Amino acid sequence: MKIKTGLMLGAALLTAGIVQAADSGFDLETVNPEADRKALQAYFKERFPKAEIEDYVNGIYAVDAPSREQWEALEEFPPYEFDIEEGERLFNTPFANGKGYADCFENGGIGIRHNYPYWNKEQGTVKTLEMEINECRENNGEKPLRWSKGDISRISAYMAWTSRDMPINIQVPKDDPRALAAYLDGKKFYYTKRGQLNLSCANCHLQGSNIRVRADIPGPMLGQTTHWPVFRSKWGEMGTLHRRYKGCHRDSRSRPDQPQSETFRNLEYFQSYMNNGLVSNGPGSRK
Amino acid sequence: MIRKTIFAALALSLSATVVAAPDSYQDAFELNRAMYGKGHTFVWQGKEYSTDHPEEIEAAVEANAANAAALIASAKAKNAEVAKLNFEWKLTRDIIKKAEAAAAKGEFRKALNLAAQAKYHARMGIEQYHYAQANWHLSVPE
């Protein structure tokens, strides 16, 4: 499904961007994903001078030493190991029609996670990995899986595992202005204050990152999407990124969006673009 | 809302002249509401106003089944409006359900107050939406 034209393009964008600190704006004429990405990294460089940019794939543990120790102990026996194995088994179990997941994806589904989500021009929408897992099932006469947890997160975990350490490679293609609009929509969502608490995602994860909010310390915005799905101790199981989005959206005392809504997919698109230059490191574990 | 609390704190820390002269009706309302709560009056540009929210004024009617049903219906409609904008608040539907339950038990005063609260949530969500359209960029660090 996803055509692998990305890498070269990505490299070209990178070198083009370094030359000048281009400005970015807030509408379709002026928004500039690459300038946004650089500005965000610069922001965190200044904010937490001791943290290496590569380390932001580890979320809060990149910037908070005490919780990092706990997490490193947790990662000695990664709680998601069983889910990767189970995910591999599910991935390789043929559908009733004899076909399998490998038939639906580029490169048999191996080592492709870092290209997601991507803009699909034919369908005019952002496609996430989970979405294509379910489409693969439905196209082969199987029932779709529930979005937030369970088998979909295991299959996604296995696919992420096969892409470990591959550089995240999100494109906003220039030949379709709707792609940039989806990016802008995600950006706008992240910065918009909402809910009874009048809080934006950025209030907690940018201005508020590594500052105690009630009992919790929100991690940095940079790197938030590199390591999904996640085995979260609080859940006691794996969950998808959109499960987490829903919980955080609710934390502003809003009625949250549902997983795989257009809003959440655009949000994932924007956030994942910000992580270009980091590596894919899913599945992950978090408190 | 948080804004209100911050505003009140700000107001208390500023001089009396600033407190006496908010430059919009909205600011004057929020300031007086934050300082005195509902059921008070204040003067702004020579005219007297109530610190009650419009929804609280709407709820100050005879507590009967018809009035409760009407306010619940209007809260639902407002909440449908804010839901369309994707700015619905978390508790609003529950509050409406509680209003309906109260009305079903004949507790019309309670039902009116809950419906007013729900409608207020919905209106604030709509305001938040419009505020965001014009101002979301202010929270992006430059």
- Would you call A253 and B89 a contact, using CB atoms and an 8 Å cutoff? yes
Rounded to an integer, what distance in angstroms lies between the CA atom of residue B44 and that of residue B51? 11
Query: Cis (ω within 30 of 0) for the bond into A229?
Result: yes
- Would you call A202 and B139 a contact, using CB atoms and an 8 Å cutoff? yes
Average pLDDT over chain A reads 90
Burial grade of A13 (CB within 10 A; 0-12, 13-18, 19 or more):
middle
pLDDT tens, B34-64?
999 989 999 999 999 999 999 999 999 999 9
Rounded to an integer, what distance in angstroms lies between the CA atom of residue B75 and that of residue B55? 9
Question: Rounded to the nearest 10 degrees, how much is the dihedral formed by the CA atoms of A24, A26, A28, A29?
Answer: -60
Rounded to an integer, what distance in angstroms lies between the CA atom of residue A92 and that of residue A88? 6
pLDDT of the residue at A232: 96
The DSSP H or E segment spanning B99 is helix B92-104
Residue in A25, A192, A206 closest to B132 by CB: A192
pLDDT of the residue at A7: 31
Query: In this structure, are B97 and B62 located in the same domain?
Result: yes
Report the SS3 class of residue A279: strand
Tell me whether A196 touches chain B (CB under 8 Å).
yes
Q: Which residue of A has its CA nearest to B140?
A: A191
Which residue did the predictor score with more confidence, A185 or A27?
A: A185
Rounded to an integer, what distance in angstroms lies between the CA atom of residue B34 and that of residue B49? 14
**What separation in angstroms does the CA of A240 have from each of A62, A85, A135, A231, A256?**
21, 17, 17, 9, 15
Query: In this structure, are B48 and B59 located in the same domain?
Result: no
Place of tokens 């904008």: B85
Return the axis-axis angle of helices A6-18 and A33-47, rounded to nearest 10°. 60
Interface test with chain B among A185, A191, A246, A264, by most B beta carbons within 10 Å: A191
- Of the listed ranges A61-70, A212-221, A222-231, the one predicted with least confidence: A212-221
pLDDT of the residue at B11: 35
B12 located within any domain: no
Residue B44 contacts residue B64 (beta carbons within 8 Å): no
Q: Which of A161, A115, A49, A81 is nearest to A269 (CA)?
A: A115
Query: In this structure, are B35 and B70 located in the same domain?
Result: no
Write out chain A residues lying below 8 Å of B121, CB-based. Answer: 196
Query: In this structure, are B47 and B110 located in the same domain?
Result: no
pLDDT tens, A242-254?
999 999 999 999 9
Domain of A187 in residue numbering reads as 1-287
The sign of the torsion formed by the CA atoms of A129, A135, A137, A140 equals: negative
Q: How confident is the model at residue A63 (pLDDT cuts 50, 70, 90)?
A: confident
Q: How confident is the model at residue B21 (pLDDT cuts 50, 70, 90)?
A: low
Query: In this structure, are B64 and B133 located in the same domain?
Result: yes
Domain CATH for A238: 1.10.760.10
B6 located within any domain: no
Diameter of chain B measured on Cα atoms: 56
B64 located within any domain: yes
Residue B66 contacts residue B110 (beta carbons within 8 Å): no
Q: How confident is the model at residue A9 (pLDDT cuts 50, 70, 90)?
A: very low
Number of domains comprising chain B: 2
Domain of B42 in residue numbering reads as 18-52
Is A91's pLDDT higher than 50? yes
User: How far does the CA of residue A29 sit from the closest CA of chain B (Å)?
Assistant: 14
Query: In this structure, are B59 and B122 located in the same domain?
Result: yes
Number of domains comprising chain A: 1
Interface test with chain B among A184, A196, A200, by most B beta carbons within 10 Å: A196
pLDDT of the residue at A282: 95
Rounded to an integer, what distance in angstroms lies between the CA atom of residue B124 and that of residue B89? 9
Residue A89 contacts residue A235 (beta carbons within 8 Å): no
Query: In this structure, are B73 and B42 located in the same domain?
Result: no
User: Which residue in A136, A201, A204, A248 is the catalytic one?
Assistant: A248
Asked if the interface predicted TM-score (ipTM) of this complex is over 0.95, the answer is no
B42 located within any domain: yes
User: How far does the CA of residue B82 sit from the closest CA of chain A (Å)?
Assistant: 11
Query: In this structure, are B73 and B113 located in the same domain?
Result: yes
Query: In this structure, are B94 and B120 located in the same domain?
Result: yes
Q: Is A104 a catalytic residue?
A: no
Burial grade of A46 (CB within 10 A; 0-12, 13-18, 19 or more):
exposed
Q: What is the DSSP string of A178-205?
A: HHHHHHHHHHHHHH--BTTTTB-HHIII
B8 located within any domain: no
pLDDT of the residue at A94: 98
pLDDT of the residue at A12: 31
Q: Which of A127, A244, A123, A118 is nearest to A170 (CA)?
A: A118
B129 located within any domain: yes
Pure H helices in A198-251: 201-202, 241-251
Rounded to an integer, what distance in angstroms lies between the CA atom of residue B51 and that of residue A216? 36
Is B8's pLDDT higher than 50? no
Q: Which of A65, A24, A68, A67 is nearest to A43 (CA)?
A: A24
Query: In this structure, are B62 and B129 located in the same domain?
Result: yes
Mean pLDDT confidence for A196-211? 89
The beta strand positions in chain A, using DSSP E, are 118-120, 125-127, 230-232, 237-239, 284-286
B33 located within any domain: yes
Q: Which of A213, A210, A207, A209 is nearest to A251 (CA)?
A: A213
Q: What is the DSSP string of B30-69?
A: HHHHHHH-SS-EEEETTEEEESS-HHHHHH-S--SHHHHH
Phi, psi values for residue B141, rounded to 5°: -65, 140
Q: How confident is the model at residue B142 (pLDDT cuts 50, 70, 90)?
A: low
Above pLDDT 70, what percent of chain A? 91
The DSSP code for A284 is: E
Which residue did the predictor score with more confidence, A225 or A217?
A: A225
